[in-house]
Amino acid sequence: MVLERIPILGVERVALAHCVGRVLAEDLIATESLPAFPASAVDGYAVRSADAGKPLRVVGESAAGRPFSGVVGPGTAVRILTGGVLPDGADCVVMVEDVRLEGEVVTTPGSLQSGSNFHRPGADVRAGERVLAAGSQLGAAELGLAAALGFPRLPVFRRPRVALMSTGDELVEVGGKPGRGQIVDSNRWALLAALREAGAEVRGLGIGPDETEPLRQLVVGVLPEVDVLVTSGGVSVGTHDLIKPLLESLGTVHVGRVKLKPGKPFTFATLPEGRLAFGLPGFPVSSLVTFEVFVRPALRKMQGFGQLHRPTLPVRLAYDARATADRTEYQRVTLRREGGEMAAVSTGSQSSSRLMSLAGAHALVRIPPGDQGIKAGTIVEAMILALP
């Protein structure tokens, strides 16, 4: 239901330095070949293979960036350095280690293979070839390839601009001293990290109050500048839970509750002009798990990623996983290698307030609702957050 309503953001042309981690918006087609010229792969001598074994007069040099302008005729050779252009007339390069040099005369081995020791034009990339597909994420090799082909800028999908707000009158800023009944706002920092890792540009709104009108003003004020609103807290059914009514007044709430543990109060709404809102639960683990399950794939869709979900791997449960009767549960585990397979170990108490259950976790294991649970030793698909 969420992904169906997620738009893909527009395209912008961005300098290579700022493309790291971005998603290519169009196929990248090579406009020229690589290498563009026959380039020596070694230091040695450019010769005609027909002259194998003969003493050859060295008539010049072809260094990288400084080609030899003449022709290698019968009985001659040109000294060539790695990256130098293979001169006209020559059809192979002999490594310097394989020749005998006396003065300006070089003698090659008795048999030479035409085409050896240089890269043919177009051997790496042919002009017209699709080198990167739209939807590819740009990392080191992809950006190097784009630069080699002469593209100083690339068309990439825009990053989602996200306004992030914690709600709750019990919250104090980190570094401040919580009074009785107060707690530090930790969700904002956890979600800031999760959002950035997912490619978003984050506008921090700080702590929103549990009061209808000021909350509304905070949200309405920032909406024109962002694509997405992410809040934490204020979505349960308590009388101070104001996010859902606020989103209902601003747009359409499509999801107001999920059969998920942790994260039952997760809320998703669409707002006018293609904007989106995610009301995440207040409990720290609930907010991060619902971020993983619903928000991260949505942000990836907005950025044009082909792959929206975390990869999964089969793992062997090393503990008896108890199920919840009416809700799918995402349990947090660490993974360790046991022989040829991965064993999943519970991170301990799976309380939705216990961030220790998620800190250092490698994966989420999905336990279907019911009274069965999953017995230790069973192979399950784990959603991988990080490999050990």
Task: Say if residues 11 and 158 touch (Cβ distance below 8 Å).
Answer: yes
Nearer to ligand AMP, 137 or 357 (CB): 357
DSSP one-letter code for 358: T
CB of 15 to ligand AMP, least distance (A): 36
For ligand AMP, how many residues bind (rule: CB under 6 A)?
Answer: 18
| CA atoms 374, 378, 380, 386: torsion sign | positive
Residue 304's binding partner, choosing from Mg ion, ligand AMP, none, with beta-carbon cut-off 5 to 8 A by kind?
A: none
Which string of DSSP letters, residue by residue, matches 15-73? EGGG-TT-BB-S-EE-SS-BSSS-EESSSEEEE-GGGTTSEEEEEEEEBTTB---SB--
Quote the CA–CA distance of 336 and 388 in Å, as a whole number. Answer: 7
Closest contact distance (angstroms) between CB of 352 and ligand AMP is 8
Could you tell me the smallest distance in angstroms from the CB atom of residue 174 to Mg ion? 17
The nearer residue to ligand AMP, 241 or 329, going by C-beta atoms, is: 241
Q: Write out the two tokens for 49.
A: 């293979």
Which of 51, 91, 142, 185 binds ligand AMP (CB under 6 A)? It is: 185
Residues 276-305 that bind ligand AMP (CB under 6 A): 281-284
Given ligand AMP, Mg ion, none, residue 208, with its beta carbon under 5 to 8 Å by kind, binds none
Nearest CB to ligand AMP, comparing residues 251 and 262: 262
Among 40, 117, 187, 290, binds ligand AMP (CB under 6 A): 187
Question: What's the number of CA atoms in the CB half-sphere (13 Å) around residue 279?
Answer: 31
Smallest distance, Mg ion to C-beta of residue 171, A: 8
Interacting span for ligand AMP (CB under 6 A) from 24-32, 50-58, 112-120, 184-192:
184-192
CB closer to ligand AMP out of 25 and 215: 215
Identify which of residues 251 and 282 has a Cβ nearer to ligand AMP in the complex.
282
Residues 257 to 286 in contact with Mg ion, rule: CB under 5 A: 282
Helices 243-250 and 212-222, axial angle in degrees (round to 10): 50
* Local structure of 279: helix, strand or coil: strand
Q: Which of residues 30-59 bind ligand AMP (CB under 6 A)?
A: none
Scanning residues 65 to 94, which ones bind Mg ion (CB under 5 A)?
A: none
DSSP 292: I
Number of residues that bind Mg ion (CB under 5 A): 4
User: Nearest 5°: CA angle at 139, between 137 and 144?
Assistant: 120
Pick one of ligand AMP, Mg ion, none as the site partner of residue 328 (Cβ within 5 to 8 A by kind): none
44 or 281: CB nearest ligand AMP: 281
The amino acid at 101: L
Cα within 13 Å of Cα(246), Cβ side: 27
Element (H, E) at 165: strand 161-167
Tell me which residues in 214-273 interact with ligand AMP (CB under 6 A). 232-236, 238
The CB-of-30 to ligand AMP minimum distance in angstroms stands at: 49
**Residues within window 89-108 making contact with Mg ion, judged by CB under 5 A:** none
The residues facing 153 across adjacent strands are 15
**Residue 229: closest CA among 291, 178, 276, 191:** 276
Q: Tell me how far, at minimum, the Cβ of 240 lies from ligand AMP, in Å.
A: 7
Q: Which of residues 138-167 bind ligand AMP (CB under 6 A)?
A: 166
Who contacts 301 (Cβ-Cβ below 8 Å, separation ≥6)? 3, 6, 8, 308
| Residue 149: count of CB within 10 angstroms of its CB | 19
**Closest residue by beta carbon to ligand AMP:** 282
Residue 83 and residue 64 in contact, taking contact as beta carbons nearer than 8 Å: yes
Binding positions for Mg ion, 166-225, rule CB under 5 A:
168
Contact between 233 and Mg ion per CB under 5 A? yes
Binding stretches for ligand AMP (CB under 6 A): 166, 168, 171, 183, 185-188, 232-236, 238, 281-284
Binding stretches for Mg ion (CB under 5 A): 168, 233-234, 282
